[in-house]
Structure 1
Amino acid sequence: ICHGIPDDRSLREGDIINCDVTIFLDGVHGDHSETFAVGEVDQQSQKLIDITRECLYLGIGAVRAGGVVSDIGKAIQHHAEEAGFGVVREFIGHGVGEIFHHLPNIPHYFEPSARFEFKPGMTFTIEPMITIGEPKATLWDDGWTAATTDLSRTAQFEHTIVVLEDGVEILTVDETEIQPFIAGGKPDVWPSRIRATSTNAGTSDK
């Protein structure tokens, strides 16, 4: 699922691998994660990757000033389960900034009690972990690596975002990288409400 410790095993055709990158710059943290296919993967694994990416952007698209945290999980869980996948519940998104982990907690499944209200300027991560099999996690003996109890494959995508008065801005993506995906129509949330930070000069285009 996440937090795997690197070792000397070689990547093989058909593997999927997640890279989770954090940065600390000018006193604040950023957090970003993507899942990659190694060569050609089986159809179910490719679908898992695609659906997980879509879940991330649907979750981001659910964020708006005055909305609540449960809006995110509702959008993600519906899309994942409609595709026949499960949502891992043991790991969640989180507030991020000068401190790496802080409130609000961001569950990626619908939690009715998650009524924390979004306000402009709030910065946090959305990082759904979606699985082909049973969405239950176990911790390995190394005390760090998390895997599904049935060892089924999972995928994860993550962005750090900030709530705006009129939408949301993704702080960990270049606009040119994501527009072709959104232009494909799945999900159709980019044009009206989501903005991307330009990474060309390391500054926001706000």
Structure 2
Amino acid sequence: MSNTTEISDLRREYVAQGLHRDEMQADPLNQFERWMQAALQAHPDDATSMTLATADAEGWPAARIVLLKGYDADGFSWFTDFRSDKGQQLAQNPKAELMFYWRGLERQVRIRGRVEQLPFSEGETYFHRRPRGSQLSAAASTQSHPVDHRATLEQRVIELDEAHAGRDIPCPQTWGGYRLRAQQIEFWQGRENRLHDRFRYTLTDQGWQLERLQP
């Protein structure tokens, strides 16, 4: 390919302050909260964007960007159509990894664990907090499934809006939330000369264990 050499020659340097073990919190959720708040201050529009990596029963991987909608001691949550590719893959293999990349801070966080569906009531509550247009799009679309033309989708939205004029859009039973219960959380800080700082928390019977990883 004509641009291979040009791409391989691209470089960037990492100049952020280092990450030291004595600065790491005993609980990774507290560490994540610190980094999330810094990301929200630096880039509020993108701070909650995360890559969700799943795999189907045959092991084929898939990754896409979704938005974090909540996190606490129970896990990290997001919302989607259960009939989507990710929904089908999670039904076959309820293990996943989340990855945040905050470029301006030169930081990454990877979170691995098992995934479970949230109660329908939680999805319904969040669904009705969304703008009406987003509700209509979610209810009118069978996510990830083929459609003959965009006009078909637009017509569905119009018909659904008219059918519920002046009323709330019902939350579909096929739409709701997932929660990933973390078993491993890694914090990555870019450093000079690619000698990056990496710390990984692993959940054991004795609680969270922290170790430094080589870059």
Q: TM-score, normalised by structure 2?
A: 0.29
Q: Which has the larger strand fraction? A: 2
Larger Rg: 2
Q: TM-score, normalised by structure 1?
A: 0.30
